Each structure stands twice: as C-alpha cells, then as structure tokens.
Amino acid sequence: MIGVGVDAVDVPRFRRVLGRRSRIDQRLFTDAERRYASMAHDPTERLAARFAAKEAVMKVLGVGVGAVRFQEIEVVKHRDGRPELRLHGRAAELSSNVGATRWHVSLTHTDSIAQAVVIAE
C-alpha cells in the first residue's frame, strides 16, 4: 500500500459555494461527473462526495490544491455500480511517480456530510 487519504465535506457549505460561484462545478467536475450527479434529486451530495475523493487523492499524492486540476481526478461509476477513480494529466503523472498502479475509493454522504476514503496500491 502506498497511502490512504480521507476527506470530508460539509454539504450545506458546499451547496452555498456552488450557488455563489458561477460555473465552479465546471471547473471542479468532468461532464460525466456532473451528468451522474444531476440524476439525483439533490446533486450536491454526490458532487460533495466526489470533491472529497479528489481531495483525498491529493493527500495520497502528497500535494495540495493547485498541484493538479480537479478535473484530472475523476470519479466514475464502474459497471458493477461501485465508484472508481480515473486519473488524467498531471494527476496520472504524480500517481506514476509514487508508484501507484491501483486505486480504491469509497464514498458516503448524508444531507449534511460527504466523505471519501481513497487507497493507493
């Protein structure tokens, strides 16, 4: 195992950020992530969980916000339903640099908190 990253997001606060900052969702999330989230009655919970996953990946990579673009870390739904990570660009480069060949992600959320746990092997 290379590392574990954990992050939690306050959903109501995240909702306010999305409402205040025009197009921030386009900067943070891929089209596929936004499409998936939009299928829910309240997409904010799904987006917050994905944001937490992106932050958790950065923790595993040992970098802070700004080292990679948020869209370079993508949470997709595997055909069996579980979430899966896809890294692109600089995030994929950093992953290779630390020797990560496999990623695992677990997401959970309520109406008030979203959390992600990420493991790199």
Q: What is the pLDDT of residues 31-62, one digit of tens each?
A: 999 999 999 999 999 999 999 999 999 999 99
In the chain, count H helices and then E strands.
5, 5
**Average pLDDT for 23-29:** 95
Q: Where are the domains of the chain?
A: 3-120
Locus of tokens 């595993």: 60
**Average pLDDT for 10-35:** 95
Whether the predicted model's global pTM rises above the 0.75 cut: yes
Share of the chain above pLDDT 70, in %: 100
The pLDDT score that the predictor gives to residue 60 is: 96
Q: What is the pLDDT of residues 99-111, one digit of tens each?
A: 999 999 999 999 9
38 vs 28, 60, 63, CA distance in Å? Answer: 15, 28, 29
β-bridge mates for residue 120, sequence order: 3, 103
Fold of 3-120: Ribosomal Protein L22; Chain A (3.90.470)
Q: Which helix (H) or strand (E) holds 57?
A: helix 43-61
**Token couple for 90:** 């600089």
**Token couple for 112:** 């008030």
